[in-house]
Structure 1
Amino acid sequence: MYYTHQREEAWRQALKQGYLEASDAHTMFMQEELEDFKPAYDWMVAQYEARVGISLNGNYPIWCWDEFPDLGRDGHIGEGNRGVVLTVELPDEEVLASEFSYWHHVLNNFPLYETLEEYDSDERPSEAFVRKSWECIFDKAWCEKTIEDQPNVELVYQYVVHRIDLTQVRAVMSFTGRGDTWLDRIRGIGWRLGFKLGVFKSKPFRYRANDETR
């Protein structure tokens, strides 16, 4: 099972068309302060199409996780925005896994090295080397090797898929994006406790065309 959090408007659109996809007309790059990240996401598109063999048809992939997101904290869909967490069952052959922390090297246009000495070097590598080094984020064996002597470091994997058919959705949980005030943090602790005790649960979902009342 995988989990993906989406804004409510994206979910409503999916209910109308029968599938969820990340159209480039509604990406975060519409925000001027985030447009610098677009090349990294374009790179991920190219990697997905090459490695999985499925075209995104001009769209961006959908991000998923193998653990239910912590809705007790901020940073999911923006403070005050309404959204959903979808529990989905996806074919493994349509999913591309990569390591989340190393993905930030791609976002920041920074190379991935194997040794600390390389990171300390003042020599700027070629663009070809930088882009090739990013491919290590898909190599779980490489990622695991880099933290062999760092027992307190935990790797986190993210997953992308070209689209999610609503027949693949197993459950839905609605939520509202939190801020980062002290009150939000206290409420977040309450959410985590309620989720652990089963007070907050996703609702089972079964797709029926032309029915938006679920």
Structure 2
Amino acid sequence: MGIYYTCQHEDAWKVALERGYLQGDPHYAMFNDEGFEFFKPAYDWMVEQYEQRVGIPLNGNYPVWCRDEFPDLGTGKRIGSGNKGVVLTIELPDDEVLVSEFSYWHFVLGNSALYDTAEEFDTEEEPDQAYITKSWERIFDSEWCETFVRNQSTAPPTYQYVIHRIELHQVRAVMPFQDLSDSWVDRIRGLGWRLGYRLGCKKSIPFHWREQTGLKEIS
């Protein structure tokens, strides 16, 4: 078992409270938004990888993305400026979680090859799609990720985690928030949030399934 965190829209959380679990509904996926359609193949690929590697079918849905550190809500750009949401603290079984490297995941989003060495990145030859798709599997190899960044003296790997769905009995705490923008007012609010979090004034609300009667309005 491990502790993870996931940012979700307030509406998604309300639906989860009604049905008893949170899942990645394809109707609300980011690639449905104008300008993001080209991300869909990457998310479809992650669905395939999850089903193959974990062995749990998603039945037409998408996995829920999680991180192993509490997000900095002072920076915004989590669920869309001005939108209300929640950060869920969750405890998940290890055998239901698929781990991948976050920065290399962007090669999948961009349909680019993830080469084995820095020298291969400099090649002018265009690899075929089969090679590109196969190369993405390196994002699940933590040893490869650690070795590659060590050899290239780049930032250490950052990992992301996906699961087929989150049962509400796995939720340990909830922190409501409103996503910030880049405006100077929100930047000040962001600094206030960071200070409050470090001082312990901003805390998640303990959550106990079956005792929770609804979602508190976010001020």
TM band (smaller chain)? over 0.9
User: Does 2:122 align with 1:117?
Assistant: no
Q: Is the 8 A contact 2:100 2:159 kept in 1?
A: yes
* Aligned residue in 1 for 2:190: 188
* CA distance, structure 1, for counterparts of residue 134 and residue 66 of structure 2: 24
Query: Partner letter of residue 74 of structure 1?
Result: G
* Aligned residue in 1 for 2:166: 164
Within-5 A mapping of 1:85-100: 85-100=87-102
Gaps of 5+ in 2: none
Moved more, 150-159 or 96-105: 150-159
* CA distance, structure 2, for counterparts of residue 134 and residue 14 of structure 1: 32
Query: Partner letter of residue 35 of structure 1?
Result: E
Within-5 A mapping of 1:1-214: 1-151=3-153, 153-208=155-210, 211-212=213-214
Measure how far apart 1:213 and its partner are: 5.6
Measure how far apart 1:87 and its partner are: 0.2
Query: TM-score with structure 2 length normalisation?
Result: 0.94
Gaps of 5+ in 1: none
Task: Give the 3-state SS of the residue equivalent to 2:202 in structure 1.
Answer: coil
Query: TM-score with structure 1 length normalisation?
Result: 0.96
* CA distance, structure 2, for counterparts of residue 152 and residue 56 of structure 1: 35
* CA distance, structure 2, for counterparts of residue 38 and residue 209 of structure 1: 37
Q: Is the 8 A contact 2:72 2:194 kept in 1?
A: yes
Measure how far apart 1:210 and its partner are: 8.3
* CA distance, structure 1, for counterparts of residue 171 and residue 15 of structure 2: 15
Deviations 1:45-72 (A, max 9, x none): 0000000000001000000000001100
Q: Is the 8 A contact 2:83 2:178 kept in 1?
A: yes
Question: What fraction of aligned residue pairs are identical, expressed as a percent?
Answer: 59
Query: Partner letter of residue 65 of structure 1?
Result: R
Which portions of structure 1, spanning 4 or more consecutive aligned residues, are displaced by more than 3 angstroms? Answer: 149-152
Query: Partner letter of residue 4 of structure 1?
Result: T
Deviations 1:69-110 (A, max 9, x none): 110012100010000000000000000000000000000000
Q: Is the 8 A contact 1:16 1:210 kept in 2?
A: no
Query: Partner letter of residue 198 of structure 2?
Result: K
